[in-house]
Amino acid sequence: MADSVETPAAEVSPYLKQVRVRDYPPLRDAKVAFKPGLNIIIGPNGSGKTRFIELVSELIHPYQVHERGAECELELGGYDGGLTITFHEPEQDLDPLISQYGPTPPLEVRVQAEASSGSSDDFLSAIREAGLNYRHLYPILAHHGVPLKGLPLVAASATFAFGEMGRIRLEPALNSSPEAAPLLVGEIFNAFALVNAKRPKRVNGKAVPAPSTTEAQALTERILTAYLAFLNPFLKQHSPIEEARLSRPYQIFENLTQRETLVKGLVFEYFVAASWLPFEALSDGTKRMLYLISQLVMPWATSTSSTTAPPEFSLHIPVRIIFLEEPELGIHPVQLTKLLSLIKEVAQTQQVIMTTHAPQVLDMLGADELDRITVCSLDPEKGTQFHKLTEEKQEQARVYMKEVGFLSDYWRYSYLEETEAE
């Protein structure tokens, strides 16, 4: 099992401080500021909320080559002097045929800190060119709906194939985009790859063979047990799932021709309402709770030892910016209350930017936190626009919360989203 689970330091972690999006209809020229921790975006359907969070979650990904988002600007807080990232069309002239029919050329990424700058066609290279001590942050995008259908381990049986020289693969492979990848499987596979990579590649010039069937079984049990032991308390507290476990039996084969050891038939099952069930037997709401909870809390594996057999590892909570798109969809109000309590807990150490149409979500905010609400609207001429509540509206809401009822009721029965005349 993992030796420990580490959480982020108490000081302010890197966070998305301000965003400006241009020329990405309906976001023609939209600007919005955010705070560390919890941020809530409200507004009518079709106003551009989803387009906004999908684009920004792509732009802020340090390992992604960007093809859309020209002239957009991100400002990050949590750094001395701040950090600004801008995205631009490449300056060189391209062959018109290539430009029209070929692949879209990547945008140029420019970073600007207090005393240094850099540019490249990807985020991380620009950071390195600027010579910055970049404190990594990673975006997580949790879509509405249930994007777990057919997912190995979670919803369908999976195979881990251990090869010689520390090679490993997952079948079927994950194909999700980086910012929206299902962490429940992605981080587990990364743990396998990390621990397996600590094995020596060659001894006396010869390739180290694949793990034996006994070694492969021990590694599989060790990593899956560690991740499920971490996840299960969250599932029990915040969802109808009381426990998830590895289904048995699974099979182990030694493929001498391919020099691989195969661990096949790996799939999770879930204890709900006094019954162990496969994923397809869960309700859509329960599936969605599983997805959202795992996106909110799943840790990374880190390993510092290369001498032990098998190598030791620990689970680490990285710095993330979590984008949630309408997490209330398909979830019973009682279960939503539990989910919102987890979101609020996570937002103590991570930045969470969420869109919602559910008044209940606003009840996470206290009377002194109304500046964490952003109202999104669609102007026929200007496109998507964002604004904060005026001091007058905030004071009206505080009076209502003190003398009448919940902030959710104030949203239902007031003009909270109305844009003030300029």
Q: Are residues 48 and 115 in the same domain?
A: yes
CB 194 within 8 A of CB 304: no
Q: Determine whether 84 is exposed, middle or buried from the number of CB atoms within 10 Å of its CB (0-12, 13-18, 19+).
A: middle
354 falls within a domain: yes
Task: Please write the tens of the pLDDT for every residue from 353-395.
Answer: 999 999 999 999 999 999 999 999 999 999 999 999 999 999 9
Count of domains forming the chain? 2
Look at residue 327 in the predicted model and tell me its pLDDT: 94
| Domain end (from 291, 316, 341) | 316
245 and 115 fall within a common domain: no
Distance CA 219, CA 346 (A): 30
Q: Which two tokens stand for residue 276?
A: 């162990």
Give a yes or no: residue 344 inside a domain.
Answer: yes
87-102 tens-digit pLDDT: 998 876 555 545 543 5
Q: Residue 212 domain-assigned?
A: yes
The whole domain housing 111 covers 12-137+319-413
Q: Examine residue 5 and state whether it is found in any structural domain, yes or no.
A: no
Residue 362's CATH number? 3.40.50.300
Task: Give a yes or no: residue 376 inside a domain.
Answer: yes
Residue 249 and residue 89: Cα distance in Å, rounded? 54
What are the pLDDT digits (tens) for 236-276? 999 999 999 999 999 999 999 999 999 999 999 999 999 99
End-to-end CA distance of the chain: 59
Q: Are residues 63 and 124 in the same domain?
A: yes
What mean pLDDT is reported for the chain?
Answer: 87
Same-domain pairing of 109 and 170: no
Residue of 124 and 249 predicted with greater confidence: 249
Positive or negative, the CA dihedral 149, 154, 155, 160 is: positive
Angstrom distance (rounded) from CA 264 to CA 174: 16
Supply the pTM of this predicted model: 0.90
Among 7-21, 156-170, 269-283, which stretch is predicted with the lowest mean pLDDT? 7-21
Asked whether residue 128 falls in the same domain as residue 238, the answer is: no
3-class secondary-structure state, position 120: strand
Same domain, 228 and 283: yes
